[in-house]
């Protein structure tokens, strides 16, 4: 019973002690943390702060990796900043994976000490979490084809970046769909009516998958890569023959079918601009199949996270 009375008296005393402190707040990471304030609410201290990304979101000084999260630690000092101690038991927006914005930390010092009295200085430490890998996506369209102007195509790409000391390793993966449509015409039909009618229709459908290796320079300014893979090609060919009444007969060439080709891809990604979370890129790609030597010029837009 004596122990219970003593505990109650000590608890009341500690509540009195915590209400008599004067609070000062500083930031150990001023470039990330600002607007730090603190207030006392019964036996709790509430610390408010603002966490913000800087330097376009880059977490490293070589501007290779963007960070969306920070590790937040709270320290306090009771000797005017000579020594700082970890505020054990604090909860709220503290610890790992803290994103930017207005944040709150709650600390109950009576749970871990015998109370605080006098001038207390709080210090917030923020360290960006640097991802070792980043990803990017790109949408591409065939702009021109050397040796053949009738080819239309589009593609989608996934880029995987691995952080190193002097740049990012780049592993590009892409899928392309290419279609070549060509129609040939009779100048006149067999009855010499000078009506231009189709004589032959050819359609080549190519699905191409490439995987490669490349490098991205500092500040994400430019990346270049070389890829290869497999191209599956299917040809549809049909012929038109016309009757005297104008109707047509269509016959299909069954000798054509599917084939496997080997593509070769070389490309660069040029940085257009940065925002806090992404880098916008301009991809320029040259794609060819070694068998037919058609060279496709492909471009579009890309985003690196």
The single-letter DSSP state of residue 225 is: E
User: Does the domain spanning 133-304 belong to CATH 2.40.160.20?
Assistant: yes
Burial class of residue 202 in the structure, from the number of CB atoms within 10 Å of its CB (0-12 exposed, 13-18 middle, 19+ buried): middle
Burial class (CB in 10 A: 0-12, 13-18, 19+), 267: buried
Whether the pLDDT of residue 12 is over 90: the answer is no
Residue 239: Cβ within 10 Å count? 16
Quote the CA–CA distance of 263 and 265 in Å, as a whole number: 7
Triad 188, 191, 197: Cα angle to 5°: 35
Whether residue 106 contacts residue 120, with contact meaning beta carbons closer than 8 Å, is answered with no
Average pLDDT for 6-17: 35
Predicted confidence at residue 153, as pLDDT, reads 83
- Is residue 206's pLDDT more than 50? yes
What does the pLDDT read at residue 30? 67
Q: How confident is the model at residue 303 (pLDDT cuts 50, 70, 90)?
A: very high
Distance in angstroms (rounded) separating the CA atoms of residues 74 and 94 = 8
Given a contact cutoff of 8 angstroms between Cβ atoms, the answer to whether 138 and 280 are in contact is no
pLDDT class of 179 with cuts at 50, 70, 90: confident
Distance of CA 10 to the CA centre of its chain: 54
Q: Judge whether residue 264 has pLDDT over 70.
A: yes
- pLDDT tens sequence across 135-155: 999 999 888 776 666 677 889
- Rounded to the nearest 5°, which phi and psi values hold at 2? -60, -40
Over residues 22-29, the mean pLDDT reads: 56
Question: Which tops the pLDDT comparison, 87 or 109?
Answer: 87
pLDDT digits (tens, 9 = 90+) for 269-296: 999 999 888 999 999 999 988 776 778 8
pLDDT of amino acid 39: 85
Which pLDDT value is given to residue 216?
95
What is the structure's pLDDT at 26?
57
Give me the residue spans of the domains in the chain: 2-128, 133-304
On whether the pTM is more than 0.75, the answer is no
pLDDT band of 204, cuts 50, 70, 90:
confident
Task: Give me the chain's average pLDDT, please.
Answer: 79
| pLDDT for position 217 | 93
Return the minimum-mean-pLDDT range out of 173-177, 196-200, 213-217, 237-241: 196-200
């Amino acid at each position: 019973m004596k122990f219970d009375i003593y505990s109650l008296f000590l608890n009341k005393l500690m509540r009195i002690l915590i209400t008599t402190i004067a609070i000062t707040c500083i930031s150990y990471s001023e470039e990330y943390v600002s607007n730090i304030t603190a207030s006392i609410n019964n036996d709790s201290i509430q610390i408010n702060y603002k966490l913000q990304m800087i330097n376009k979101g880059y977490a490293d000084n070589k501007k290779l990796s963007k960070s969306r999260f920070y590790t937040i630690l709270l320290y306090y000092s009771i000797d005017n900043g000579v020594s700082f101690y970890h505020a054990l038991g604090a909860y709220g927006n503290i610890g790992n994976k803290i994103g930017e914005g207005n944040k709150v930390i709650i600390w109950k010092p009576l749970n871990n000490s015998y109370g605080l009295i006098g001038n207390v200085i709080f210090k917030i430490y923020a360290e960006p979490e640097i991802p070792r890998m980043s990803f990017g996506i790109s949408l591409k369209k065939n702009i021109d084809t050397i040796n053949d102007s009738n080819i239309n195509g589009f593609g989608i790409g996934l880029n995987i970046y691995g952080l190193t000391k002097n740049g990012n390793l780049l592993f590009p993966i892409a899928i392309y769909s290419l279609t070549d449509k060509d129609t040939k015409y009779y100048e006149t039909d067999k009855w010499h009516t000078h009506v231009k009618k189709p004589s032959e229709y050819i359609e080549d459908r190519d699905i191409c998958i490439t995987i490669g290796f490349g490098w991205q320079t500092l500040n994400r300014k430019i990346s270049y890569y070389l890829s290869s893979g497999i191209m599956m090609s299917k040809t549809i060919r049909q012929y038109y023959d016309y009757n005297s009444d104008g109707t047509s007969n269509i016959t299909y060439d069954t000798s054509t079918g599917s084939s496997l080709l080997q593509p070769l891809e070389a490309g660069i990604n040029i940085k257009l601009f940065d925002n806090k979370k992404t880098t916008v890129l301009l991809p320029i790609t040259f794609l060819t199949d070694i068998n037919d030597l058609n060279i496709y010029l492909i471009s579009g837009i890309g985003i690196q996270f």
